[in-house]
């Protein structure tokens, strides 16, 4: 009887440790993928498609097969190419993208000179009196350096001016957990299905933003189809090394990145 009582708990403990270890690995890889995605975006005019491709490529070591049961090896160039092409095709499971890159900034209002605490418009037409507002020079010092003094270095005009040439992006990964039983428990815990409301991970501590609600809804929809996932959101920022072309790669109207309050 003692064995019957202890074995299920022991098995869950072992499986849970393995799954939590894989989640920790996935978070580390997601942080690296965010860095690589932002670097590609900085070099390629903030192209969303190029950033997403870079993120998927660098997340390959933690992304499972289409059945969600195992992580395929990357031990040859042919397997890497095959797996990369398949992952790009399977990035959506009908609930949105499993690997999504969201541009946090600069937003369109930051460059157009509109919105709250607006700075002067920053684009070719505004600075030089010629050209259009579709192109923003990444190496124009007047877009980065503020002449105002004695301002808060974190939130003042100087920092807001500098942020207009700094690409900030977030990799939003719906990580598919491969360890049986532990994946179900962790997903249910995330959704708060067996917890009091004060402990729900999708409620307290997370701002009520559409992106957060959509992510939790995707986890719930996949859980109903016996696909167990957990969101991993990591951000990175890097100074642009190429011009913004707003008519080619439009910037978001607002910051839709997910941020956790302390």
pLDDT of residue 93: 62
Strands (DSSP E) found in 41-181: 99-105, 135-136, 166-176
pLDDT of residue 24: 93
Q: Are 111 and 167 in contact (CB under 8 A)?
A: no
Rounded Cα gap, residues 35 and 171, in angstroms: 9
Rounded Cα gap, residues 118 and 138, in angstroms: 19
pLDDT of residue 117: 66
CA distances (Å), origin 77, targets 42, 81, 82, 84, 224: 27, 6, 9, 10, 36
Per-residue pLDDT of the chain (262 residues; tens, 9 = 90+): 888 888 888 888 899 899 999 999 999 999 999 999 999 999 999 999 999 999 999 998 888 766 666 777 777 788 788 888 877 777 766 656 789 999 998 988 888 877 666 677 777 777 777 777 788 888 877 776 665 554 555 556 667 777 888 999 999 999 999 898 889 988 988 887 544 555 555 444 444 455 556 788 888 888 888 889 999 999 999 999 999 998 899 999 888 888 765 4
pTM of the complete model: 0.82
Helix axes of 2-43 and 48-58: crossing angle, nearest 10 degrees: 140
Rounded Cα gap, residues 114 and 128, in angstroms: 19
């Amino acid at each position: 009887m003692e064995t019957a009582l202890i074995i299920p708990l022991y098995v869950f403990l072992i499986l849970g440790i393995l799954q939590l270890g894989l989640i920790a690995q996935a978070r580390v890889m997601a942080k690296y993928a965010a860095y690589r995605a932002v670097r590609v975006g900085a070099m390629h005019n903030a192209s969303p498609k190029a950033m997403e491709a870079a993120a998927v490529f660098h997340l390959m070591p933690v992304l499972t097969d289409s059945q969600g049961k195992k992580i395929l090896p990357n031990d040859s160039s042919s397997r890497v190419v095959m797996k990369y092409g398949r992952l790009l095709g399977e990035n959506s499971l009908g609930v949105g993208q499993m690997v999504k890159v969201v541009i946090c900034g600069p937003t369109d209002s930051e460059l157009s000179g509109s919105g709250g605490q607006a700075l002067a418009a920053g684009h070719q037409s505004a600075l030089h009196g010629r050209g259009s507002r579709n192109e923003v020079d990444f190496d124009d010092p007047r877009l980065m350096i503020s002449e105002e003094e004695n301002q808060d270095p974190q939130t003042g005009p100087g920092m807001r001016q500098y942020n207009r040439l700094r690409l900030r992006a977030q990799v939003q990964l719906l990580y598919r957990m491969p360890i049986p039983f532990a994946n179900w428990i962790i997903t249910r815990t995330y959704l708060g299905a067996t917890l009091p409301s004060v402990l729900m991970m999708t409620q307290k501590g997370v701002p009520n933003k559409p992106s957060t609600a959509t992510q939790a809804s995707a986890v719930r929809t996949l859980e109903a189809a016996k696909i167990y996932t957990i969101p991993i959101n990591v951000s990175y920022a890097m100074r642009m090394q190429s011009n913004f072309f707003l008519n080619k790669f439009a910037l978001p109207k607002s910051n839709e990145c997910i941020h956790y309050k302390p």
